Amino acid sequence: MTKIFKTNLSKIVTLIAVSIILTVLFLFIGVKESNIGFFLPRRVTKLVAFLLISFTTAYSATSFQTITNNNILTPSVMGLDSLYLFIQTVIVFFFGSKTLTMMTGTSNYFISIGIMILSSLGLFSLLFKKKGRTVYFLLLTGMIFGSFFSGLSTFMQVLLDPNEFTLLQGKMFASFSSINSSLLLISIIIVVVISLALIGDFRKLDVLSLGKDQAINLGINYKKIVLKNLIIIAIFTSVSTALVGPVAFLSIIITSLSRHLFQTYKHGVRVVGAALISFVFLIVAVLLVERIFNFSTTPSVIINLIGGIYFIYLILKEGKK
């Protein structure tokens, strides 16, 4: 027990060390005395955003997999990404792109997050309204709603003026290069406040990973903890989607790497581990794009490609069991 704890601790320390090295590398590559004032603040903003996204993705994906009792699903199947794109499309469609550019500030952010949280609440209430419905039923419903929304968005995009469409397109792909620092501050506040509310939840999630029936037997309020976590997942996914756009496959890589690396049921360790892995991964992806590919591709393309191939590998492994 203590041995596992020690090796896990040393793994986390190693990951932290790697993150620090990469952070320094990321901050100071190509920095000269003349341009330090320009580069440094921007890079620090990016790094903070990466940290935030890493944590939200790690927490939501890990707890999501525990709730669904499945190792290959991620929150992206709930269709929140498509809902986000739909909201952006609706804003451009009804109010014009001027509104969207003016709203890049806080109001668009709050509207998007608010609608996304409300609709996930509506979706979750379906799950608990009738007896005998499982989480998978909910996910399938979410996914179908997702394709409904993306169908509607495509329809509206077809009707849009090409100039307006170009502006919208900027919102459609995850953008790591232009992170709005005032939004970042709000997001940090939201995430920190919520995180305070879930400090005690890690142990409940540990019990929940035994399965629904056992957890209820051991005195866990299943309904409450599942609903609470689903809401938090919705908020976290909305925050990171609104901040950098949709990154679907990041969560698959980090959760399963963290599960393999830290052979433990403890969610505290696994979430921290996944967050660190995600942070390392994001920096490496951005460095690759900026230094090696010379911006010929985007970080999200790399993340989705690697994550996607890893996902196929996971499925094939699942098939061999």
Partner 1 sequence: MKSKKVANFRISLVMILIILSLFSIHIGIEEFSLIGLFNNEEKQVDLFLLSRFPRLLSVIITGVSLSIAGLIMQTISANKFVSPTTAGTLDWARLGILLSFFIVGAATSFIRVIFSFGIAMLGTGIFMIILTKTKFRNSAIVPLIGLMLGNVVTSITTFIAYRFDLIQNMSSWLMGSFTLVTKGNYELLYLGIPFMILAIIYASKFTIASMGQEISTGLGLNHKLIMIIGLIIVAIITAIVVVTVGTIPFVGLIVPNIVSLYRGDNVKSTIIETGLIGAILLLIGDIISRVLIFPYQISISVVMSVMGSLIFLFIMFRKKSRVQ
Report in angstroms how near the CB of residue 182 gets to partner 1 at its nearest: 32
Nearer to partner 1, 142 or 273 (CB): 142
Task: Name which of 193 and 316 has its Cβ closer to partner 1.
Answer: 316
In the bound state with partner 1, the residue whose beta carbon lies nearer, of 15 and 208, is: 208
What is the per-residue DSSP string for 11-59? HHHHHHHHHHHHHHHHHHTT--TTTHHHHHHHHHHHHHHHHHHHHHHHH
Least separation in angstroms between residue 147's CB and partner 1 is: 5
Whichever of 215 and 276 has its CB closer to partner 1, that residue is 215
Looking at beta carbons only, is 52 or 252 nearer to partner 1? 252
- Minimum gap (Å) between residue 253 Cβ and partner 1: 12
Asked if 240 and 61 touch (Cβ cutoff 8 Å), the reply is no
Cβ at position 306, least distance to partner 1 in Å:
10
Contacts of residue 64, Cβ cutoff 8 Å, sequence gap at least 6: 73, 74, 75, 229, 233
Taking the complex as a whole, the smallest distance from the CB of residue 260 to partner 1 amounts, in Å, to 19
Residue 183 near residue 109, CB atoms below 8 Å = yes
**Cβ at position 235, least distance to partner 1 in Å:** 22
Stretch (H or E) spanning 73: none
In terms of Cα–Cα distance, which of 199, 218, 197 is closest to 207?
218
Candidates 177, 193, 187, 191; CA nearest to 290 is 177
What is the spatial distance between Cα 214 and Cα 272, in angstroms, rounded to a whole number? 26
CA dist 152 and 101 (Å) reads: 22
**12 with 276: CB under 8 angstroms?**
yes
Whose Cβ is closer to partner 1: residue 124's or residue 249's? 249
Nearer to partner 1, 30 or 319 (CB): 319
Task: Point out which residues bind partner 1 (CB under 8 A).
Answer: 70, 72-73, 77, 130, 132-134, 136-137, 139-141, 143-145, 147-148, 150-152, 154-155, 158-159, 248-249, 297, 301, 304-305, 308-309, 311-312, 315-316, 318-321
Residue 93 CA to residue 26 CA, distance in Å, equals 39
Distance in Å, CB of 128 to partner 1, minimum: 14
